[in-house]
Structure 1
Amino acid sequence: MRFFGRSLIGLLLLALTLGVLALAGQTVVGAFQARLADAGPGGAAREREFTAAVVTVQPGVVVPELTVFGEVKARRMLELRAPGGGRVIWLAEGFEDGAAVAAGQALVRLDPAEATTARDLAQSDLAKVEAEVGEADRALVLARDALAAVQAQAALRALALARQNDLRSRGLGSEADVEAAALAASSADQAVLSARQALSQAETRVDLAATAVSRQRITLAEAERALAETEIRAGFAGRLSGVAVTTGGLVSPNERLADLIDLAALEVSFRLSTAQYARLSDATGGLLAAPVQIALDASGSKVVARGHLSRVGAAVGEGQTGRLVYAALDANPGAGSGDLLPGDFVSVIIAEPALEGVFALPAAALGTGDRVLVLGPEDRLEEHPVQVVLRQGDSVILRAEALAGREVVSARSPLLGAGIRIRPTRGDTAAVDPEPVVALTPERRAKLVAFVEANSRMPAEAKARMLEQLAQDQVPVQVVERLEQRMGG
């Protein structure tokens, strides 16, 4: 038993000794590998090249395009309403939603019985007042004749009075004869006054009769208009919408029957920001008649129409910003499935005023500080500042006279920077070598940054480039693995 216990203790000590020796050997090998990694086999590592697409800068004239979204509306629309109430006795064939109608076409007829009766009564009343006009004219003639008769009689009475006064002055007449003649003359004057009053009344009667005729003619015209309005016609050629009437139904005055839309006169309303509107206005602040293209995606196919800017809204609107702008469509010949209709939500592409001496690049080519990477000698990259004139979609319009004819990287990446040597690819597509990247934790990033800063054998340019890569949110996996291998971790 004592021998067996001592054997076990010996085996345990032997195993511990072997483990310590193995750990020491692994430590020595790891330190040797780290030293070799820092020194590098045969001196400095070979410079790596990246592939990047480049485009040649050719300044010229660029017409920017502004893309917004808007709604198609009808510039010309008519609400068909019943001027008076009544029963619908007839509808035009095909009087339904979407039906095409011609200008002046009869669409709806209401029961004309009441309107016809009113028109006939108005005609009868007009004949009556016209007869009164004739009677008043005849009475006026008689009144004038009566006035002339009494005036003649008054003249005779005046002569008789003058004769009696002459006889009395010569002592041949009596006082009683003179008084009788004076009374007769006075009665004749009174008769003249009565006749003149009768003539005035006759003239007034003629005027009143003429006024009554005029009023009755107005009443007749109104009755005829009401009769004509029992038949509703199309004011212009278009298509019906919102039909809400049937044959035999009762309609009330001013009730809406349908809408008539002129599909040949459409417009698009859309909202622009103040900056966008400023680019589309002239020196006086008015809206330019810039051409526009209206597109509607319909089940994979695209309906395209053209137009021009027509006007701007008079007010901004409560809770809104910018400007409400309208564009008139140049033509919309029909209302088939391939045409625009009111209510369509469309995209509007507006051609802005042309810019001279500029060039367009993909937005990915522009870096921080408005700088681009330019291909220099020995295919090394250089950073050059540019002036951003306009951003539109996935591209930018730039101005830089010094870059004319030079090649610019069309898509930047965290791997590219000033001094990097690249293998340029020239073509329509911009691409760089796909490099896997990884997001570092703060502790891991700090450890790598400390290792790079403490490495005195690394060139200053390479160290600055690597520190810039480590400062990015996404760091290439290959860079991280290479640094961690040198650290021995």
Structure 2
Amino acid sequence: MRFLARSLTGLFLLVLTLALLGAAALLLGGAIRASLQPGGPGQPAEERVVAANVTRLEPTRVTPVLTAYGKVEARRALDLRARQSGSVVWVAEGFRNGLSVRSGEVLVRLDPAPAQEALALAQADLAEATASDTQAQAAVILARDDLAAAEAQVVLRRQALDRQRQIEARGAGSSQAVETAELALSAAEQAVLSRRQALAQAEAAVDQAKVAVTRAGIALAEAERALSETEIRAGLSGRVDGVALVPGALVGANEVIGRIIDPSALDVAVRLSTAQFALLVGPDGALGPAPVTLGAAGLTGRLERAAAAVAEGQTGRMVYVALDPSPAAEALLQPGDFVEVRIEEPPLADVARLPALAVGRNGTLLALAEGDRLQEIPVEVLRRQGDDVLVRVAALAGREVVLERSALLGEGIRIRPVRPGAGAGLVPLSEARRAELVALVEADAAMPEAAKARLLDELKAGAIPAATLERLEGRTGG
């Protein structure tokens, strides 16, 4: 029994071994046949090569342009005010909103009757004061003559006293006569004092009369000025705004009746961030007169000054652009307009301009290395100019970099570089690659028949445009 069991076990192992050898032979034969077929799984997969536009980095000198937005302001604007109240009797035909006036032109006339009456009264007061001054001067002359006569009387009384004393000394006179002469002299001296007082009063009256004449002259000048102010004239040349006057309207003193704006003197107030302002400041800390262009209008100007302080609730810096006088600026711009401002910064040397898509989020470029494989290199981004960036070239001079990054490109990827002007951007295709792309196009059910026919015609040639190849590769995911 033991011999029979061992024999059956050996037979079973032999059959199992032969079965495994047969299965292995079948698998090996299938693998050999599959490897002999063209395009079979036995062939190594061809590396996918993506076409990409490249350019050579060359250091150049570039003038960056800072783009901001500002508000147009009038550098010279004048509010017309009525200096006195009155009734409007005449308004100039050109004193209307939007029309232009010249400096010194009469715009409005108020009723002059009250001012004329005040002028007549002032003239009468001046004549009266002048007459009083003349009378006072004559009174001074008379007072001086009266004083001279009194002084002469004193001399005579003193001489008479001396004679009476001499007569009394000889014994021929009397003491009563001497006393009478002394009293007469004293009365004469008292009269001199009275005349001097009268003269002083007359001279003071002259001074008061002169003051009255001066006051009357001032009042007359004020009346004449008030009469002249019934005519409101343009203080400068410019355009009129804010007028709503008609003859017969009443205006009050200091009331604004209109505004004149000089269109040849306009500024643009531009608010910049502190970082942007720092780019415009020179080594000496002063704001340079950088050239400025206003958006699509093509108007020019210059950076003139910066505000002295930051307004409450605001940030950054307010700078002012002085526009160059021109008929176009006067016609296109008005105070209050919101405009785009392009300010030229100081030039930068050793830089290159690249599309913004060329720089990755980590601040790197994809440079072409040996074997047309990509290498990720860091780069210094100096400015962002719309869809472009300005990068520092330095040691990267002469290196070729990818112009547009995509999800298909990265470190170590082999690309087919498409250089500017090289064969109008045509990329050669191998037979296998062409067959793969033809199959891709024919299998795309969503593609229009016209576009499909056009692509198949392009694929029949030996090379296709790089843009077309990139679109097709995008459909396959690389």
Q: 1:33-432 counterparts in 2 under 5 A? A: 41-295=41-295, 302-333=296-327, 338-427=331-420
Which residue is 2:14 aligned to?
none
**Deviation of the 1:477 alpha carbon:** 7.7
Q: Deviations over 1:40-60 (max 9, x none)?
A: 823531111112111221212
Q: How far apart are the structure 2 equivalents of 1:155 and 1:50?
A: 137
Contact 1:164–1:177 (CA under 8 A) maintained in structure 2: yes
Q: Deviations over 1:348-389 (max 9, x none)?
A: 000001111111211111114321111223322122221222
Give the residue type in structure 1 aligned to 2:403. Answer: S
Q: How far apart are the structure 1 equivalents of 2:267 and 2:320?
A: 7
Q: Deviations over 1:440-481 (max 9, x none)?
A: xxxxxxxxxxxxxxxxxxxxxxxxxxxxxxxxxxxx8846xx
Q: How far apart are the structure 1 equivalents of 2:172 and 2:60?
A: 132
Which residue is 2:457 aligned to?
none
Q: Deviations over 1:278-335 (max 9, x none)?
A: 111123432211111113xxxxxx4231111111112211211101111111114367
Which residue is 1:29 aligned to?
none
Which residue is 2:10 aligned to?
none
Q: Deviations over 1:10-59 (max 9, x none)?
A: xxxxxxxxxxxxxxxxxxxxxx99xx9xxx82353111111211122121
Q: How far apart are the structure 2 equivalents of 1:105 and 1:176?
A: 90
Q: What TM-score do you get using the length of structure 2 for normalisation?
A: 0.78
Give the residue type in structure 1 aligned to 2:394. Answer: E
Contact 2:94–2:101 (CA under 8 A) maintained in structure 1: no
Which residue is 2:21 aligned to?
none
**Deviation of the 1:137 alpha carbon:** 1.0
215-224 or 386-395, which moves further after superposition? 386-395
After superposition, the Cα gap between the structure-2 partners of 1:234 and 1:334, relative to the gap in structure 1 and judged at 3 Å, is farther
Contact 1:107–1:234 (CA under 8 A) maintained in structure 2: yes
**Deviation of the 1:265 alpha carbon:** 0.3
Give the residue type in structure 1 aligned to 2:199. Answer: L
Contact 2:62–2:347 (CA under 8 A) maintained in structure 1: yes
Secondary structure of 1:87's counterpart equals strand
Report how many residues are paired.
395
Contact 1:332–1:339 (CA under 8 A) maintained in structure 2: no
Q: How far apart are the structure 1 equivalents of 2:130 and 2:420?
A: 95
Q: How far apart are the structure 1 equivalents of 2:169 and 2:367?
A: 142
Q: What TM-score do you get using the length of structure 1 for normalisation?
A: 0.77
Q: How far apart are the structure 1 equivalents of 2:369 and 2:288?
A: 43
Secondary structure of 1:411's counterpart equals coil
**Deviation of the 1:235 alpha carbon:** 1.2
**Deviation of the 1:392 alpha carbon:** 2.9
Contact 1:108–1:231 (CA under 8 A) maintained in structure 2: yes
Q: How far apart are the structure 1 equivalents of 2:55 and 2:244?
A: 62
Contact 1:244–1:256 (CA under 8 A) maintained in structure 2: no
Give the residue type in structure 1 aligned to 2:313. Answer: G
Q: Deviations over 1:207-265 (max 9, x none)?
A: 11111111111111111111111111111110101112111111111111111000000
After superposition, the Cα gap between the structure-2 partners of 1:334 and 1:168, relative to the gap in structure 1 and judged at 3 Å, is farther
Secondary structure of 1:126's counterpart equals helix
Secondary structure of 1:184's counterpart equals helix
**Deviation of the 1:393 alpha carbon:** 2.4
Sequence identity percentage: 53
**Deviation of the 1:194 alpha carbon:** 0.4
Which residue is 1:444 aligned to?
none
Q: How far apart are the structure 2 equivalents of 1:417 and 1:188?
A: 130
Q: How far apart are the structure 2 equivalents of 1:42 and 1:161?
A: 168
Q: How far apart are the structure 1 equivalents of 2:328 and 2:84?
A: 33
Secondary structure of 1:192's counterpart equals helix
Give the residue type in structure 1 aligned to 2:187. Answer: S
Secondary structure of 1:116's counterpart equals helix
Q: Runs of 5+ in structure 1 lacking a partner?
A: 1-31, 296-301, 434-475, 483-489
Contact 2:299–2:329 (CA under 8 A) maintained in structure 1: no
Give the residue type in structure 1 aligned to 2:182. Answer: A
Q: How far apart are the structure 2 equivalents of 1:413 and 1:136?
A: 107
Q: Runs of 5+ in structure 2 lacking a partner?
A: 1-29, 35-39, 428-473
Q: Deviations over 1:122-155 (max 9, x none)?
A: 1111111111111111111101100000000001
Contact 2:299–2:328 (CA under 8 A) maintained in structure 1: no
Q: 1:405-484 counterparts in 2 under 5 A? A: 405-427=398-420, 478=476
Q: How far apart are the structure 1 equivalents of 2:476 and 2:76?
A: 66
Secondary structure of 1:96's counterpart equals coil
Q: Deviations over 1:40-82 (max 9, x none)?
A: 8235311111121112212121101000011111000011111
389-398 or 53-62, which moves further after superposition? 389-398
126-135 or 285-294, which moves further after superposition? 285-294
Q: How far apart are the structure 1 equivalents of 2:334 and 2:198?
A: 74
Q: How far apart are the structure 2 equivalents of 1:264 and 1:58?
A: 44
Contact 1:239–1:261 (CA under 8 A) maintained in structure 2: yes
**Deviation of the 1:407 alpha carbon:** 1.8
After superposition, the Cα gap between the structure-2 partners of 1:347 and 1:218, relative to the gap in structure 1 and judged at 3 Å, is same
Which residue is 1:4 aligned to?
none
Contact 1:305–1:331 (CA under 8 A) maintained in structure 2: no
